[in-house]
Chain A
Amino acid sequence: DTEVTQTPKHLVMGMTNKKSLKCEQHMGHRAMYWYKQKAKKPPELMFVYSYEKLSINESVPSRFSPECPNSSLLNLHLHALQPEDSALYLCASSQGLAGGPFNEQYFGPGTRLTVT
């Protein structure tokens, strides 16, 4: 099973709402990632968890709050977002963070977020 699942598929939220994105994998991977992708652009790395600990934060605004409850789950909590945060949010996982072949990443289908 090489599947990464994400819910919801689509999300529309107002600037004062609080919502969460969820990601799950059952490949035994120990590294999980959140990316933001704008149309016709490559994914931009936001956060990386390794062995359930936050390893990389790419200077993401605090209105985005990641959480890794266990090795299979990754959440992204959203609060007070701006319209420019509208994008496709992708989750990915890999065996680990050792680099090289361990960084072969498997992506989920994404959550299409619209902030109104």
Chain B
Amino acid sequence: AQSVTQLDSQVPVFEEAPVELRCNYSSSVSVYLFWYVQYPNQGLQLLLKYLSGSTLVESINGFEAEFNKSQTSFHLRKPSVHISDTAEYFCAVSGNTGKLIFGQGTTLQVKP
């Protein structure tokens, strides 16, 4: 069975500081990994994805995530956060069942 663990339920950070949101997965099949972001009162937006190829993937707004097969991790990082990055972040894994398995989410709170 596949599962996703987001190790931190809340991450408070000051504006312009670096941040890392941690995600570990469990899967016995090939994995495809996603990070989704949900701003208050909105739906989920795909932030970035790992399907194959380079293990470092980047988004257009400065986030990046690295797929680490040996550590079964897909941590999300940003070197300098903005107030506007305050949101709920969900890590998800897709195997061969057609379902997305979500982690419990991490609330990123960026303080001025």
A binds B: yes
Q: Mark B40-59, 1 if CB is under 8 A from A, else 0.
A: 01111110010110000000
Dominant secondary structure at the A interface: mixed
Whether, in the assembled complex, A13 has its beta carbon less than 8 Å from a beta carbon of chain B, the answer is no
B94-112, CB < 8 A from A: 94-100, 102-105, 107
Q: Is the CB of A110 within 8 A of B104?
A: no
- Number of inter-chain CB pairs below 8 Å: 72
Complex alpha-carbon distance, A31 and B41, angstroms: 25
Q: Is the CB of B100 within 8 A of A99?
A: no
B47 to chain A minimum Cβ distance, whole angstroms, is: 12
Q: Is the CB of A99 within 8 A of B97?
A: yes
12 inter-chain pairs at a CB distance below 8 angstroms, sorted by A residue, are A6-B43, A43-B90, A43-B102, A45-B99, A101-B52, A102-B98, A103-B32, A103-B94, A103-B100, A104-B32, A107-B43, A107-B44
